[in-house]
């Protein structure tokens, strides 16, 4: 039976650390860190993520406001809003909830954020710093995974880490973090054009699934004793639930759990870690601004 990596408990640890650091700063006369969240439109999933971020911020003493705009806001108007937040000395971190409506170019908006306030670590300057191993903001989901491995005392040096998925928010930045000196994994990134993916996955000491496909990783894709990290969040119909669905990951948990040495559940695994890293980044932004 695999050891279950409890993302809720680990993220609670990190949130407590951030809370203590915020309390320490305010007791030294600094104002509380402040996160500005921009939400465009009424997508229920985005609204729910944003509510979660605001609640988590409040719990650790980080100030935050959600600025909500209608779906038909113009691109230039949104760029002006970001510019205003860049120039506002009371704002430490800026988060624009993605995806944006189709008529707005996500990339233009991300590129407009001051890299010093880029707590999502999506700006090209932040990504560049990550790739060359400079100090900077951490990409929330990948850094949350690294924290999970570190706090679970999982050896990464010299290990083969296979990541399934090459998105800009998970697969690619995680590959860079696992390659970094100090992590020292040998990294393979798989995607939809990868040939014979199961045989590559079976070579993994650490297997990360970030695909967005319910139960994609089956038992025959996992080496006995591997560490399995499930990033996926997928809805599957479930009439026994009041809301008519339940959330599952990209890993067939029931089948893989007996084989793996460690495994993350969904929900309660990687998800909570993502918000914890966002709080760490907002604290870092505030510390850097006041330095």
List of residues contacting ligand NDP (CB under 6 A): 141, 164-167, 169-171, 190-194, 197, 210-213, 231-234, 270-271, 274
Q: Considering the candidates 118, 120, 250, 252, report the single residue annotated as catalytic.
A: 120
User: Could you tell me the sign of the dihedral formed by the alpha carbons of 116, 119, 125, 126, in that order?
Assistant: positive
Tell me if residue 20 is catalytic.
Answer: no
Q: Give DSSP secondary structure letters for 75-90.
A: HHHHHHHHHHHHH-TT
Cβ at position 72, least distance to ligand NDP in Å:
26
Of 181 and 195, the one with the shorter C-beta distance to ligand NDP is 195
Of 141 and 281, the one with the shorter C-beta distance to ligand NDP is 141
Q: Considering the candidates 53, 159, 172, 223, report the single residue annotated as catalytic.
A: 53
Cβ at position 171, least distance to ligand NDP in Å:
6
Of 85 and 140, the one with the shorter C-beta distance to ligand NDP is 140
Torsion of CA 273, 278, 281, 285, to 10 degrees: -170
Q: Exposed/middle/buried for 257, CB within 10 Å: 0-12, 13-18, 19+?
A: middle
Of 152 and 167, the one with the shorter C-beta distance to ligand NDP is 167
Cβ at position 23, least distance to ligand NDP in Å:
27
Of 214 and 287, the one with the shorter C-beta distance to ligand NDP is 214
Phi, psi angle pair for 234, to nearest 5° = -130, 140
Rounded Cα distance between 256 and 249, Å, is 12
Are the C-beta atoms of residues 5 and 152 closer than 8 Å to each other? yes
Cβ at position 158, least distance to ligand NDP in Å:
25
Rounded Cα distance between 46 and 156, Å, is 33
Q: Give DSSP secondary structure letters for 40-75.
A: ES--HHHHHHHHHHHHHHHHTT-EEEEEEE-TT--H
Tell me if residue 97 is catalytic.
Answer: yes
Are the C-beta atoms of residues 79 and 110 closer than 8 Å to each other? no
Cβ at position 39, least distance to ligand NDP in Å:
17
Q: How many CA atoms lie within 13 A of 257 on its CB side?
A: 12
Q: Kindly report the number of other CB atoms within 10 A of residue 99's CB atom.
A: 12
Q: Considering the candidates 97, 138, 223, 252, report the single residue annotated as catalytic.
A: 97
Sheet holding 34-40, edge to edge: 63-69, 34-40, 93-96
Of 33 and 139, the one with the shorter C-beta distance to ligand NDP is 139
Which residue in the shown chain puts its C-beta closest to ligand NDP? 167
Cβ at position 221, least distance to ligand NDP in Å:
11
Give me the active site residues, please: 53, 97, 120
């Amino acid at each position: 039976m695999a050891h279950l990596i409890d993302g809720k408990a680990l993220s609670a640890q990190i949130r407590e650390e951030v809370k203590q650091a915020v309390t320490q700063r305010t007791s030294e006369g600094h104002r509380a860190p402040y996160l500005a969240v921009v939400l465009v439109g009424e997508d229920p999933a985005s609204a729910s993520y944003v509510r979660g971020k605001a609640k988590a911020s409040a719990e650790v003493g980080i100030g935050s406001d959600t600025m909500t705009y209608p779906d038909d806001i113009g691109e230039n108007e949104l760029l002006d809003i970001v510019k205003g937040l860049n120039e506002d000395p009371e704002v430490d971190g800026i988060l624009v909830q993605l995806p944006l409506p189709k008529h707005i170019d996500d990339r233009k908006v991300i590129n407009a954020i001051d890299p010093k306030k880029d707590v999502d670590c999506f700006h090209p300057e932040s990504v560049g710093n990550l790739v060359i191993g400079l100090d900077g903001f951490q990409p929330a989901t990948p850094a949350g995974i690294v924290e999970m491995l570190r706090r679970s005392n999982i050896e990464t040096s010299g290990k083969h880490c296979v990541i399934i998925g090459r998105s800009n928010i998970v697969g690619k930045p995680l590959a860079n973090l696992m390659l970094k000196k100090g992590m020292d994994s040998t990294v393979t990134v798989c995607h939809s054009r990868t040939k014979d993916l199961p045989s590559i996955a079976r070579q993994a000491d650490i297997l990360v699934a970030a695909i967005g496909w319910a139960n994609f990783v089956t038992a025959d894709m996992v080496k006995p004793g591997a560490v399995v990290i499930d990033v996926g969040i997928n809805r599957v119909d479930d009439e026994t639930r009041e809301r008519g669905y339940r959330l599952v990951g990209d890993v067939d948990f029931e089948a893989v759990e007996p084989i793996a040495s460690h495994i993350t559940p969904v929900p309660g695994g990687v998800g909570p870690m993502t918000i914890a890293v966002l709080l760490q980044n907002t604290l870092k932004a505030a510390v850097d601004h006041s330095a």
